């Protein structure tokens, strides 16, 4: 098992704090395994087995529970009456009125509560209103490149492994399959994609036009790292598919995709004006393997967009709010607002070896007049400093401890 140390340390730091720990993320990204790893840590640090209770609401054994009060009574009957108790509710959003169960357990004295869910519905509507200021959300992603490397061992060729990382999948089970049965990876990813789209999007939202939904997915997957808008998507698809697709329908579908954590929207930030722009977004895919199974003919020129996708999720893991930057003279791929009030700027290019490309990639960064750190990430082997802009090898950057 690959240890998810970044997320595990977050949970350890939040232990026994008077907050509900909410772990979210797309299906099969490792939420249940993280819970098991954390429970093992608790036991190894003196917590008695009887003080830990875990229930997965998607397991068949839990299907008998239909009433939140019944679950509450059962959970409390399984725990000791004294001392700190640790309760884990996995995929709790499948239980009717789950928010009442969460609230009832949270207000119970000496209960440290952890819940997971694979749809943003978990943190919407009733629960968000009920628990405002009383929870902390941890969004879990598939493997980072450092975690991916650890699955293959330190002896693996890191450059070859990175190319594999961008062209295969970083879902934990997909990585396990790659190690034992590589041909099964695409079968697994197609099944996972169908589950996310059909179960978390189509069925939950009572949709009838699956083909239309798929057209929008294809558009997003083909537009990684590009600025798009609902109007732009609707207009393009009306021309290419002959479907009478409206702006409102596209906007609704985009919300469904982000709620299921299939894609992540990134708002545009005007660096000079220091303000967010509301109309257009960039979208990044939670796992490039899902894109690869739907689009088998990705051109070589697409490597830059794939690399940008990898960097985006690494920046999320490292903390802070991530935006796409805009200046009067061009774009900065990422602006990161750090929790400590600092800021970082990132430009991403697959290679910047020739002088013309290097000048283009540096131009937007050089016109930013503040003193915050600025980085150019590439797959080139050289590192350099250009008037305060640090050029780094992206693989070395991804593997920083």
User: What pLDDT, in 10s, does the model give residues 18-69?
Assistant: 999 999 999 999 999 999 999 999 999 999 999 999 999 989 889 899 999 9
pLDDT digits (tens, 9 = 90+) for 200-253: 899 888 998 889 999 999 999 999 999 999 999 999 999 998 788 999 999 999
Q: Is 307 exposed, middle or buried (0-12, 13-18, 19+ CB in 10 A)?
A: buried
**Residue 375, phi then psi, degrees to nearest 5:** -130, 145
| Cβ neighbours of residue 49 closer than 8 Å, sequence gap 6 or more | 43
| Cβ neighbours of residue 209 closer than 8 Å, sequence gap 6 or more | none
Residue 279 pLDDT exceeds 90: no
Task: Give the pLDDT mean for 261-280.
Answer: 88
Q: Which pLDDT belongs to residue 200?
A: 86
pLDDT digits (tens, 9 = 90+) for 151-195: 998 777 999 999 999 999 999 999 999 999 999 999 999 999 999
The total number of residues written for the chain in this structure: 401
Q: Which pLDDT belongs to residue 127?
A: 64
Cα 217–Cα 219–Cα 225 angle in degrees, nearest 5: 105
Contact 345, 325 (CB under 8 A): yes
Q: Which pLDDT belongs to residue 126?
A: 59
In which band, very low, low, confident or very high, does the pLDDT at 294 lie, cut at 50, 70 and 90? confident
Residue 125 pLDDT exceeds 80: no
For residue 12, how many C-alpha atoms fall within 13 Å in the half-sphere facing its CB? 14
Give the CA-trace dihedral at 122, 127, 129, 133, to 10 degrees: -90
pLDDT digits (tens, 9 = 90+) for 324-378: 998 877 899 999 999 999 999 999 999 999 999 999 999 999 989 899 999 999 9
SS3 281: strand
Q: Which pLDDT belongs to residue 301?
A: 55
In which band, very low, low, confident or very high, does the pLDDT at 263 lie, cut at 50, 70 and 90? very high
Alpha-carbon gap, residue 82 to 98, rounded angstroms: 25
Neighbours of 272 (CB within 10 A): 13
SS3 350: coil
Alpha-carbon gap, residue 198 to 190, rounded angstroms: 12
SS3 326: strand
Range 157-177 burial, b when 16+ CB lie within 10 A, else e: eeeebbeebbebbbbbbbbbb
Domains present along the chain, CATH in parentheses:
5-139 (3.40.50.300), 145-398 (1.10.10.10)
| Cβ neighbours of residue 296 closer than 8 Å, sequence gap 6 or more | none
Contact 345, 372 (CB under 8 A): yes
pLDDT digits (tens, 9 = 90+) for 71-86: 999 999 999 999 999 9
Tell me the pLDDT of the chain averaged across its residues.
92
Outline where DSSP puts E strands in 120-272. 135-139, 263-270
């Amino acid at each position: 098992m690959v240890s998810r140390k970044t997320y595990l340390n977050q949970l350890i730091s939040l232990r026994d704090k008077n907050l509900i720990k909410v772990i979210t993320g797309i299906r099969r990204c490792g939420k249940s395994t993280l819970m098991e790893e954390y429970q093992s840590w608790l036991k190894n640090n003196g917590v008695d087995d009887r003080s830990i209770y875990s229930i997965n609401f998607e397991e068949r054994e839990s299907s008998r529970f239909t009433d939140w009060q019944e679950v509450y009574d059962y959970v409390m009957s399984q725990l000791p009456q004294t001392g700190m108790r640790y309760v884990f509710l996995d995929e709790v959003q499948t239980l009717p009125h789950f928010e009442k169960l969460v609230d009832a357990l949270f207000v119970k004295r000496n209960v440290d509560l952890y819940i997971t869910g694979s749809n943003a519905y978990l943190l919407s509507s009733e629960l968000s209103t009920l628990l405002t200021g009383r929870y902390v959300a941890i969004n879990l992603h598939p493997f980072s490149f450092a975690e991916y490397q650890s699955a293959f061992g330190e002896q693996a060729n890191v450059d070859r492994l990175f190319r594999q990382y961008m062209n295969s999948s970083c879902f934990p089970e997909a990585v396990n399959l790659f190690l034992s049965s590589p041909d099964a990876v695409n079968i697994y990813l197609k099944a996972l994609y169908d589950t996310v789209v059909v179960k978390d999007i189509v069925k939950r939202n009572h949709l009838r036009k699956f083909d239309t939904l798929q057209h929008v997915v294809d558009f997003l997957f083909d537009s990684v790292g590009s600025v798009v808008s609902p109007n732009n998507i609707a207009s393009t698809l009306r021309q290419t598919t002959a479907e009478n697709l409206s702006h409102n329908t596209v906007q609704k579908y985009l919300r469904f995709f982000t709620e299921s954590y299939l894609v992540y929207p990134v708002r545009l930030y005007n660096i000079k004006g220091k303000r967010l722009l509301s109309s257009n977004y960039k979208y990044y895919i939670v796992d490039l393997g899902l894109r690869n199974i739907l689009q088998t003919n990705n051109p070589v020129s697409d490597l830059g967009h794939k690399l940008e996708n990898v960097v985006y999720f690494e920046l999320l893991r490292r903390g802070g709010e991530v935006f796409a930057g805009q200046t009067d003279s061009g774009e900065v791929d990422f602006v990161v607002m750090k929790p400590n009030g600092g800021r970082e700027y990132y430009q991403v290019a697959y290679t910047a070896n020739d002088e013309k490309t290097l000048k283009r990639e540096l131009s937007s960064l050089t016109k930013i007049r503040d003193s915050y750190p600025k980085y150019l990430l590439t797959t080139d082997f050289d590192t350099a400093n250009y008037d305060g802009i640090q050029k780094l090898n992206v693989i070395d950057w991804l593997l920083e401890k």
